[in-house]
Amino acid sequence: MLLHSIKSVNFRNLKSGSLEFSDRANFISGRNGHGKTNLLESIYWLLSLRPKRGTVQDCVKKGESAFKIESDLTFGELKHHVNLDVEGKSKKLHIDGTQPRRKRDYLEQVLVVDFFPEDLLILVMEPALRRRFIDIASAQYSLPHEEVLRRFKRTLEQRNRLLKTPGGPDRGVLESFDRPFSESAALVTSMRLHLLSKLGKLTDELFREGIGEKYEADIRYISSLDGIPDSWADQNLPDPSQFQDIYFNALSRNRSVDIDSGRTSVGPHRDDWCLTLDGKPVRQFASRGEVRSAMFALHLSRFHILTEKRGIEPVVLIDDVMSELDIERRKRVLELLPPGQIFLSACDPPPEIEMLGNGELRHFVMENGSATRVN
């Protein structure tokens, strides 16, 4: 797939005006606060139909109530004109002037892999960031899994509301949530284990052989429940039924604890995962350079796994995350970047950037929300 052009109206601080892109490499430079990240976020919105950060309202220019993004895209071997209008919870998508029957029909044909500065915190900060990362990747890997995640979240929210009932919940009603909660929790866990297993193997290969780091990288799942494994060696998706009784029995054991605390104490929403180097957690023992190398290896792994699964070369967005890498690491990362369409941003272009485009690099400078092509 290819993104040929983009134009936004009322998206953050971006000025209206169409930009036309290279099919290979596009570099956006400029001072902080002038719109580099916002431009990449508009691409992310268009290809994922969700915000990269914050809420919908955070993406709307101050004083406005809605934003619009339009683009010429090639997907499904044909070129299409796509319009996205977002206001509050309403997302109106038109492809060549017609609304698709389901937004999923569109998402099945487009794909984006992103690496933004806040992603550097995934490996070292709170577990919620890691859960969000693997759940979004899981939904990209298998689009029907998006509904599984919604169902689990909805069941969890309903159960927690019931637990907060003044005077205590009706125990019969509370018990009625056990089976649907366990079924959706088992599906979420099964997909996480499957994808983390794939990511771990390839991340290690890219981390050591590609980027040239010396430690062995691995990924481990962290659950508070006995019976949920910390890894999955089989290449096939784990059978979710093997986890259902684990969650079902845990809910029964913890019922009084949950009633006292007013929240559900067991489930995928309490789990975590960890990337290790030679068996030691990255967040405790790795240097800043090693953390950045590990995150690049992880994101490159996601690209390759999604490409293999979906049969689509994703658009790759890399927002100002290479500046703290040393020269040798930057060169290796640039050599490892995928063969499809790439968008990178930084305050200033690194000297090595020319090796990326192979004659197909377009450079844009952002100033006060406007991008000007300089080559």
Question: What is the per-residue pLDDT across 12-60, written as a single tens digit (0 to 9) for each?
Answer: 999 988 999 999 999 999 999 899 999 999 999 999 999 998 889 999 9
Residue 274 has pLDDT above 90, yes or no: yes
Q: What is the rounded CA–CA span in Å between residue 303 and residue 295?
A: 12
Mean pLDDT over the full length of the chain: 92
Q: How far apart, in whole angstroms, are the C-alpha atoms of residue 265 and residue 258?
A: 6
User: Which band of pLDDT confidence, cut at 50, 70 and 90, is reported for residue 85?
Assistant: very high
More confident residue, 20 or 357: 20
Report pLDDT for 126: 94
Most confident of 191-205, 277-291, 348-362: 191-205
- Radius of gyration (Cα) for the chain, nearest Å? 22
**How does DSSP assign 43-91, residue by residue?**
HHHHHHSS-SSS-TGGGBPTT-S-EEEEEEEEETTEEEEEEEEEETTEE
Share of the chain above pLDDT 70, in %: 98
CATH number at residue 226: 1.20.1050.90
Q: How far apart are CA 54 and CA 68, in angstroms?
A: 17
Q: Does 258 have pLDDT greater than 80?
A: yes
- For the stretch 95-142, pLDDT in tens is 999 999 999 999 999 999 998 888 888 999 999 999 999 999 999 999
Residue 332 and residue 272 share a domain: no
Does the pLDDT value for residue 222 go beyond 90? yes
CB-CB contact of 219 with 275 (8 Å): yes
* 151 inside domain: yes
User: Which neighbouring-strand residues pair with 280?
Assistant: 277
Does the residue 29 lie in any domain? yes
Length of the chain, in residues: 375
Q: Which of 289, 303, 187, 273 is nearest to 237 (CA)?
A: 187
In a domain, 245, yes or no: yes
Among candidate residues 310, 327, 346, the one where a domain is terminated: 310
Give mean pLDDT, residues 332-351: 84
Last residue of a domain, one of 293, 310, 327: 310
For residue 118, is it within any domain? no
User: Encoding tokens for residue 263?
Assistant: 């929240």
User: Pick from 251, 249, 252, 223: which is nearest to 238 by CA?
Assistant: 223
User: Is the pLDDT assigned to residue 197 strictly greater than 70?
Assistant: yes
Q: How far apart are the C-alpha atoms of 229 and 193, rounded to whole Å?
A: 8
Structural domain count of the chain: 2
Calculate helix-pair angle for 127-141, 178-205, nearest 10 degrees: 90
Q: What is the CATH number of the domain that holds 94?
A: 3.40.50.300
- 116 lies in a domain? no
- For residue 280, what are the contacts with CB-CB under 8 A and spacing of at least 6? 286
User: Do the domain assignments include residue 120?
Assistant: no
- Cα 122 to Cα 125: distance, rounded to the nearest angstrom: 6
Q: What is the pLDDT of residue 330?
A: 80
Mean per-residue pLDDT, 351-370: 81
pLDDT computed for residue 357 by the predictor: 60
349: tokens are 């272009």
Which of 56-70, 99-113, 270-284, 350-364 has the lowest average pLDDT? 350-364
Nearest to 230 by CA among 193, 190, 199: 193
Spatial contact of 66 and 87, defined as CB atoms under 8 Å apart: yes
- Tell me, yes or no, whether 228 and 294 share the same domain: yes
What is the tens place of the pLDDT at every residue in 286-336?
888 888 889 989 999 998 999 999 999 899 999 987 776 778 888 888 888
pLDDT in tens, 201-216: 999 999 999 888 899 9
Q: What is the largest CA-CA distance in the chain?
A: 70
**What phi and psi values does residue 371 have, to the nearest 5 degrees?**
-105, 130
Q: What integer pLDDT is reported at residue 358 of this predicted model?
A: 65
Q: Do 216 and 151 fall within a single domain?
A: yes
**Residue-number span of the structural domain to which 213 is assigned:** 127-310
Average confidence (pLDDT) over 185-196:
97
CA 98 to mean position of chain CA atoms: 28
Dig out the tokens for 87 from the structure. 């206001």
Residues 260 and 292 in one domain: yes
